[in-house]
């Protein structure tokens, strides 16, 4: 910056993607929101990352660390997989220097992606208890929304660790689990079905898991962050 100054700003994480555009799908979780007054110092370089929205069947690589949907993983197929599930929304964050957790000043977490379920042997693919909306972005912790018929969604990211990927309890087959969230990155949904990806955040949300036949978990929301240094004069998380 050229000269020191203070600025009050509001950052909003991106929403997660929908599980599909029609049929038995969950919607993406809302992004989190943080508002704060930042002390910008002369001679320092600041970077603002604006998270990209999650999308149906979205791959990895989203701005702000939204995790990939399960349907976008073409390396794994099952008879009930429909090429769907929503990717996670990206975080929106302000960093002093390079983009890293250590340099984070304010972060609003991204929402998790919704899941999609279309097994023709289960109410012709329209059983609403076997899909879920994505978890909302944080806040100190991202949200979690489980399918009514099974605990398969990824959990929300927190302040010290990423959200856990949703796990299948079918014969202990961990290959059906979603990926865990990590620093600034949401976990991918299980590639074996149309699961949701985790939202990006200070710590990302976990990706949704899959249980045959057929329950698909959604992605957990990513967490937000407020630095406790003198760079922040005052800040708080807005309610979702």
pLDDT per residue as tens digits for the range 106-165 = 999 999 999 999 888 777 878 999 999 999 999 999 999 999 998 999 999 999 999 999
pLDDT at 173 over 90: no
Give yes or no for a contact between 116 and 124, defined as CB atoms under 8 angstroms apart.
no
Average pLDDT score, the chain: 94
pLDDT band for position 171 (50/70/90)?
low
pLDDT at 39 over 90: yes
pLDDT at 223 over 90: yes
132-148 pLDDT, tens digit each: 999 999 999 999 999 99
State what percent of residues in the chain have pLDDT above 90: 82
Model pTM? 0.96
Q: What is the DSSP letter of 43?
A: T
Give yes or no for a contact between 15 and 31, defined as CB atoms under 8 angstroms apart.
yes
SS3 40: strand
Q: Mean pLDDT over residues 28-57, rounded?
A: 97
For the chain, what percentages of helix, strand and coil (3-state, to nearest 5) are there?
5, 20, 75
pLDDT at 172 over 90: no
Q: Mean pLDDT over residues 96-112, rounded?
A: 98
What pLDDT does residue 240 have? 58
Q: Mean pLDDT over residues 87-99, rounded?
A: 98
Q: What is the DSSP letter of 214?
A: T
């Amino acid at each position: 910056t050229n000269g020191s100054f203070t600025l009050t700003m509001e950052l909003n994480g991106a929403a997660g993607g929908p599980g599909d555009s029609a049929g038995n799908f969950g919607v993406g979780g809302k992004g989190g929101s943080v508002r704060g007054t930042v002390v910008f110092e002369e001679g320092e370089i600041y970077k603002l990352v604006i998270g990209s929205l999650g999308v149906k069947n979205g791959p990895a690589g989203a701005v702000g660390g939204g995790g990939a949907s399960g349907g976008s993983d073409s390396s794994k197929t099952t008879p009930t997989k429909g090429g769907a599930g929503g990717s996670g929304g990206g975080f929106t964050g302000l960093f002093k220097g390079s983009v890293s957790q250590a340099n984070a000043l304010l972060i609003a977490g991204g929402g998790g992606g919704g899941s999609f379920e279309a097994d023709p042997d289960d109410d012709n693919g329209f059983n609403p208890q076997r899909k879920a909306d994505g978890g909302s972005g944080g806040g100190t912790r991202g949200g979690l929304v489980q399918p009514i018929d099974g605990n398969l969604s990824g959990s929300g990211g927190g302040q010290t660790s990423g959200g856990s990927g949703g796990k299948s309890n079918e014969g202990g087959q961990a290959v059906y689990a979603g990926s865990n969230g990590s620093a600034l990155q949401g976990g991918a949904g299980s590639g074996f079905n149309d699961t949701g990806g985790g939202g990006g955040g200070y710590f990302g949300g976990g990706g949704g898991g899959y249980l045959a036949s057929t329950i698909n978990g959604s992605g957990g929301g990513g967490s937000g962050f407020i630095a406790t240094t003198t760079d922040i004069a005052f800040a708080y998380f807005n309610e979702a």
